[in-house]
Amino acid sequence: MSDDLSVLTAIYQSDRADRSTTLTVSLATMGAAVTYLVGTIAFYDKLDLLRWAICLLPFPLVCIAAFHALLLNLAAVRARSILTLERALLGHVSEPDGSSVERGAIGVGASERAGNLHTAHPSQRAAILIAYGGVGIIYLGYIGLMLVKAAAHMSGWVAVPVAGYAALLVPVALAWRHSMANFDFGQTDRR
């Protein structure tokens, strides 16, 4: 049994490290997106020099939004794995008085209850929705702003990038929806 516990502990530590790395990459990518947004908006009055190519400026943000959906899904998968491993590891641990350890009070279970849209306190849920929704509104506003600016140089042809961005945003939105659904650990918690 000791070998099993060692293996579970090693996998657990690996999953925790991977989840931490995912968060770091996510924050760095978000920083790059903010820098890109601020950088292009700072030169808003000069963008007309790009003429029709203005419509290409939102594309990196769409790519970042898609990448974040992947990172969010990876975080959900890692969290589910960590919770499963924590349950197995905590099955071998008891309090000094012999009672079992409250699983939701330590480890990823505790952090998921605090920061997961599905389980957080209502005020925390509002903050999560503001954070994710705000980024979505900023991205959509930026895309719209750049397409309006490009329309002056493209006339009716602006419909092509509009359709292109719409075609790209639908799967990105569906990926975000799927990723958020993966964070619903309700079924896992009932086991």
What value does the CA radius of gyration of the chain take, rounded to a whole number of Å? 22
pLDDT in tens, 101-156: 676 667 777 777 777 888 888 999 899 899 889 999 999 999 999 999 999 999 89
pLDDT at position 157? 95
pLDDT at position 94? 64
Distance CA 63, CA 72 (A): 14
pLDDT in tens, 41-96: 999 999 999 999 999 999 999 999 999 999 989 988 888 888 888 888 777 766 66
pLDDT at position 4? 74
Of 162, 130, 133, 141, which Cα lies nearest the Cα of 56? Answer: 162
pLDDT at position 18? 84
Distance CA 77, CA 152 (A): 45
CA angle 58, 64, 70 (to 5 degrees): 145
Residue type, 71: L
Q: What is the dihedral of CA 45, 51, 52, 58, to 10 degrees?
A: -30
